[in-house]
Structure 1
């Protein structure tokens, strides 16, 4: 039986994007199944307590210039494209979380989320709102009518709320977060520790 790894992520998170590019390799290497759980990280952090992104940075780690430089270094290490979205792409984080939840309801969250990540971090788009979300849905084989209908349904918001609450109950305080066998690994840079842990339990 494959080991299940829960992956909590947010489309606007540069580190979630970076981590998402390593998932296929992890699944192949450890014969595990990584389950994608979209959240709005801004809301997750706010519900969980104090946000390190509000007000003056609490440490150099949260300085935006450093985070951009750090993300670019990771992208180079992973040999993947990366274009910093801050100051370039306008988006609604709640809309993106709901859009991914729609795809999740239709069993297409992986492909859909990857397309939104690419739109955010590798394209020349200056905004990602409903029109762009619909375009990604169509590219995944989701009809515009189905997508927009589910996007407006209360159940989509309810499912997103349940995901955020479940994440908080599991100890998630930010994204990306991986959870396997009750062990929590936060951050793209903790994938090396996740890999080591998966080796010990396989």
Structure 2
């Protein structure tokens, strides 16, 4: 049985789903995306494109975080930098892929979600980036690696895979071929894993 987690660090719901994955008794295969590119390809619209939806998403995520006991203090400076193009919107996902190559993904993954939704890390300025790497014991060349052609190509390949499989938003979890969308489907994910279902069929 496989469990695949398609996500983008820009999604508060992905942050909440990631926290809940700790209670699933099977290792997840993490697949970071440029969710905006994927959603556009499937004619979906990301939350920031609708101010009313964005306002509700933050309110809803705050309620969910409180219920789960998860720290939720959005890093608005980073969010705005990503949204305005000051920082490439896909950069956090590319950093995750670079961390996979250096064997530091577990550390980087948690640090990136924390930087986005539970902290004030500066991932915009050169000084802030180096402080971030030093604080978490990550390779000093991680940001440079994330800019490489190989990493950019791998992210595109993951995006293309997601599009082909109908990943219309994030977070989406596959247990085998069975798709679950949203952080509020984790009970169903755990039930599917426990039952050993693949593609909705019983074990």
TM-score where L is the length of structure 1: 0.82
Q: Is the 8 A contact 1:95 1:130 kept in 2?
A: no
**1:6 counterpart SS class:** strand
Report the number of matched residues.
190
Task: After TM superposition, list the pairs within 5 Å mapping 1:114-193 onto structure 2.
Answer: 114-125=110-121, 128-129=123-124, 131=126, 132-145=128-141, 147-193=142-188
Residue 16 of structure 1 corresponds to which residue in structure 2?
A: 14
Task: Provide structure 2 residue ranges, at least 5 long, that are not aligned to the other structure.
Answer: 83-88, 197-202
Residue of 77, 84, 96 corresponding to 2:67: 77
Q: CA distance change for structure 1 residues 149 and 20 in 2, over 3 Å: closer, same or farther?
A: same
RMSD of equivalent CA atoms: 2.4
Secondary structure, counterpart of 1:144 in structure 2? coil
Residue 37 (structure 1) shift = 1.0
In the other structure, the counterpart of 1:65 is: 55
TM-score by length of 2: 0.82
Seen in structure 2, the aligned counterparts of structure 1 residues 91 and 52 have a Cα distance that, compared at 3 Å, is closer
- Structure 1 stretches lacking a partner, 5+ long: none
| Structure 2 Cα separation of the partners of residues 167 and 133 of structure 1 | 29
**Cα distance, 1:140 vs structure 2:** 4.5
CA distance in structure 2 between the partners assigned to 1:66 and 1:97 by the alignment: 24
